[in-house]
Amino acid sequence: MAPSSLALATLFAATAFSLISPSLSQSTTCTSQTFPNRNLYTLCNNLPSLESYLHWAYDPARSTLSIAFIARSEAKGWISWAINPTATGMVGSQALVAFSDPRGGMAVKTYNITAYGPLTESRVWFNVTNSSAEYSNGFMRLFATVVLPVNGTAVNHVWQVGPSVTGGVPDKHEFQPANLNAKGRLDLLSGQSTGGTGGSSRTRKRNIHGVLNVVSWGIMFPVGIIIARYLRVFPTADPAWFYLHVFCQVSAYAIGVAGWGTGLKLGSESSGVTYSVHRNIGITLFTLATLQIFALLLRPNKDHKIRFYWNIYHHGVGYTIIILGIINVFKGLDILQPGNKWKNAYIVVVAILGGIAVLLEAITWIVVLRRKKTDQSTKPYDGVNNGRL
């Protein structure tokens, strides 16, 4: 059982590592798009996330930047394009947001985003003229001209897509990798738009974090507990089962600590983005697993009077780690959203491990009951009392 379960974990890990190189393919390009006044924009860029495109023209004599920002969106949603003069992320952005107004037309509003939280319409640092928007065929288009500081050569730009608008106020967008990667730098002289490398790096870290924790908490810890519970009843497996159990749990702990560390790093780099339940379960898992490691070092002898209580503690914490680990893997998959095939693959892994546990549980009970029956049948016969006490 142990080799097949470990092979299952290895196969899942090897397959899952293909997540570390996310695809940025797009179904169309900016050069193939047509819309009114398309010829006003001399340059265009295929932005690296959210199926978005930027058509633009820079007039250095007037220091004006004319843009047509296009993104796939629901009709009830919103799109935004912004310049951040102080940083590379959302906070500090001077944003233009387009969405459908209650009268059936399109509205364009400006927002000075000073912090994470609900948006309030406000003036931005730049003069904005000729702003308008339109929606057709699943794409929303935002048009505007922005007056930039004189002699500027490049700007940090941020774009975003949101699902809905409530009371004329854009609702919160998602915080998936594509949303977090929606930023870059626009070189006004060369015409190039480069995506933020930090966003790509963060996506890779998120994927590594997910793979490490699936393998450790979601697979290896359960395998180690299955080994300890079911192989120990076979005399021929002693003491091999114990060393296999220790190997699985210590390896799972080491991998889990690495995954936990990447999670802490991601949290420190994602100000304003918090997944409280996932984080708290992760901290609990790390704490309980650390206690288990110390428990291994402080394990009393089999004949010690507190060994019974130590067993209760050790088994209880172990089963708690299994339950919380599997729950948190699904929480993480919901956050990462790598595709249904990965979630389904993990469901299959859990089902296989569960099936193995059920089968071994039945075999174990059969072995124990037969052994008990054999022990009773070989009990010495008391001739004086005719076998009675």
Q: How is residue 311 written in tokens?
A: 């067993």
Phi-psi region of 125 (alpha: psi -120 to 50; beta: other; left: phi over 0): alpha
DSSP labels for 76-119?
TSEEEEEEESS-SSSTT-EEEEEEE-TTSSEEEEEEE--SSS--
Q: Count CB neighbours of 334 within 10 A.
A: 11
C-alpha distance from residue 367 to each of 231, 233, 374 (Å): 11, 8, 10
Per-residue b or e along 45-54, where b marks 16 or more CB atoms closer than 10 Å to that residue's CB: bebbbbbbbb
| Share in percent of the chain as helix, strand, coil (round to 5) | 50, 20, 30
* Peptide bond connecting 239 to the previous residue in cis, omega within 30 degrees of 0: yes
Choose among 22, 1, 18, 6: nearest CA to 255.
6
* Calpha distance 248→254 (Å, rounded): 10
Q: Does the annotation place 173 within a ligand binding site? A: no
Q: Does the annotation place 315 within a ligand binding site? A: no
Q: Does the annotation place 55 within a ligand binding site? A: no
DSSP labels for 268-325?
HHSTT---HHHHHHHHHHHHHHHHHHHHHHTPPPTTSTTHHHHHHHHHHHHHHHHHHH
Q: Positive or negative, the Cα torsion across 329, 334, 338, 342? A: positive
Q: Does the annotation place 209 within a ligand binding site? A: yes
Angle at 152 between CA 148 and CA 156, to 5 degrees: 80
* Calpha distance 155→148 (Å, rounded): 9
Amino acid, res. 322? I
Choose among 288, 347, 318: nearest CA to 222.
318
* Residues tagged in the binding site annotation: 209, 245, 278, 314
Binding residues for heme b: 209, 245, 278, 314
